[in-house]
Amino acid sequence: MAELVVLLDSDNNPIGHADKQHVHTTDTQLHLAFSCYLYNDKGELLITRRALEKKTWPGVWTNSFCGHPAPGESFDAAIARRAQVELGTRVADVITILPSFSYRAVDASGIVEYEFCPVHAARIDGSLEPNPAEVMDYAWVDPAALAHSARSMPQLLSPWMVEQIEQITQQLPQDHSGVAIPSALRALAGM
């Protein structure tokens, strides 16, 4: 069965949908996605290394998981679905940390990622059983060390994660006053 992604206009309004396999090309149309950072009770963040079979950025370290909401699917439902598919786990306490994040990046093969991609964080609620077709490796990391790596060695990480960490560092303290921010995100933002 085809995995459909929601196509967007330049104002991020839905204008249709297409098969995911046909969307990611050298001329990718803007479409809806999400990124999610999982944290644990120790205050660590989960990073994953993309499987070598992935169409874009194979073998690159990135945030916990990403995905595309299906037409009519909420972000919360899509996040729960992709956590299960990619990592074999459940999530809880989902919050949105960068509601307007978008990016365009071209990988070494020429494939373009062009996504309106709100960024979320969630607490892991179960054990990890990564899908080897999605994730070849994973690590629980200190958020401050991850932020340092994104600044000092960005070439080792996915371009979207580098941009997200920069925005989280700049925006989280200002944009989430009064919201309960998990300690892992506070540490990532240098708070």
pLDDT digits (tens, 9 = 90+) for 8-26: 999 999 999 999 989 989 9
Residue 170 maps to a domain: no
22 annotated among ligand-binding-site residues: no
- Angle made by CA atoms 70, 73, 75, in degrees to the nearest 5: 100
Residue 179 maps to a domain: no
Question: Is there a contact between 119 and 168 (Cβ–Cβ < 8 Å)?
Answer: yes
Domain extent, residue 105, equals: 4-10+23-142
How confident is the model at residue 176, as a pLDDT?
Answer: 61
Residue 88 maps to a domain: yes
86 annotated among ligand-binding-site residues: yes
| pTM for this entry | 0.92
pLDDT digits (tens, 9 = 90+) for 71-125: 999 999 999 999 999 999 999 999 999 999 999 999 999 999 999 999 999 999 9
Residue 67 maps to a domain: yes
- Angle made by CA atoms 61, 62, 68, in degrees to the nearest 5: 135
pLDDT digits (tens, 9 = 90+) for 145-158: 999 999 999 999 99
115 a catalytic residue: yes
Domain count, the chain: 1
24 annotated among ligand-binding-site residues: yes
Residue 34 maps to a domain: yes
148 annotated among ligand-binding-site residues: no
- CATH number for the domain that contains residue 46: 3.90.79.10
3 annotated among ligand-binding-site residues: no
SS (HEC) of 120-142: EEEEECCCCCCCCCCEEEEEEEC
From the list 36, 44, 66, 117, the catalytic residue is 66
Residue 185 maps to a domain: no
Residue 148 maps to a domain: no
From the list 3, 44, 53, 115, the catalytic residue is 115
